[in-house]
Amino acid sequence: MNTFKVGLVGARGYTGAELIRLFAAHPRFELAFVTSRELDGQRVAEHNDGFAGELRYCNPAHEELPTLGADAVVLALPNGKAGAIVQAFDAAGVDPVIVDLSADHRFDDAWYYGLPELTRTRYAGQRRISNPGCYATAMQLAIAPMLGALDGPVQCFGVSGYSGAGTTPSDKNDVELLRDNLMPYALTGHVHEREVSRQLDHPVEFMPHVAPHFRGITLTANLHLTRAFTREGVLARYRDRYADEPLVRVQDEAPWVSRIAGRHHVEIGGFTLSGDGRRLVVVATEDNLLKGAATQALQNLDMAFGLDEFLGVPL
């Protein structure tokens, strides 16, 4: 079988490490290069369990990246850093598949927005793919089955482990500050609020928080409805929508974030209706580093190369 070479830009972060593990186990993808300024010259295997070989981190200039021979490039960088790299490939006339994990291209209609469970029918061979945000993935999957029956904005209360804040030191990943604490931030206008409102074409109000645990998101969505529903009707709607989706699991009880850590799917449950049946509360959990980032990037790469979408995803 032919293999495809993948370059990973920004491999030192938490998501980069998850991608390295996924690529190491994938039967058709092979890492061509991994970049890290801090780890330049060190063996990738020294920093990543499950990865074998002599591949070393490198720190090339942007204009060098198109010369490294990758069929696909994953950009695992902070917001605001992807554009210069994309420009380097454009200037060199080199056109690999590019998957951007940042928010830089999520509002660009020229890029495919890759939340496969909701958007795979829009994929038509685009070579520029924008990976959804972690919270945005959970929000959209929690809300989508009720589109067409929503009355007014949906309110979403989110709590993430501190890995969502990345590796650059800040209050949101300071373990001492987070101890016995819940830290609210960006309570209006968060990028994921705008992202989800745009993708669902429905207003969403999002209130994110950071908790002391390392990984995993709990997302509680409050949906006002245009008509009364029964709980059985709601459950049937969600189960029908995700019946053929191995990475979305609908359950009766509310999911626990401790049970989603290290898993590649989203769990949706805890369906609770008000007495009049016109207000629904739904809970979704996901691992922010996996289905919220690395696993979803792998789904998108599989699709881009005509492979089974779930190849290399531990189901």
Using alpha carbons, select from 29, 15, 86 the residue that is nearest to residue 292. Answer: 15
Beta bridge partners of 146: none
Structure tokens at 215: 């990984």
Beta bridge partners of 74: 8, 99
Number of neighbouring beta carbons within 10 Å of residue 141? 29
CA–CA distance, 280 with 287 (Å, rounded to integer): 24
Structure tokens at 202: 């429905």
Q: Which of 134, 196, 257, 261 is catalytic?
A: 134
Q: Which helix (H) or strand (E) holds 248?
A: strand 248-250
**What are the Cα distances from residue 2, in Å, to 22, 67, 217, 257?**
18, 21, 36, 38
Buried residues in 150-180 as b, exposed as e (16+ CB within 10 A):
beebbbbbbbbbbbbbeeeeeebbeeeebee
Q: Specify whether the CB–CB gap between 57 and 8 falls below 8 A.
A: no
Query: Can 134 be counted among the known catalytic residues?
Result: yes
**What are the Cα distances from residue 34, in Å, to 5, 12, 42, 53?**
11, 9, 11, 13
Q: Give the chain's end-to-end CA distance (angstroms, integer).
A: 22
Query: How far is residue 216 CA from its own chain's centroid?
Result: 12
Q: Which residues are catalytic?
A: 134
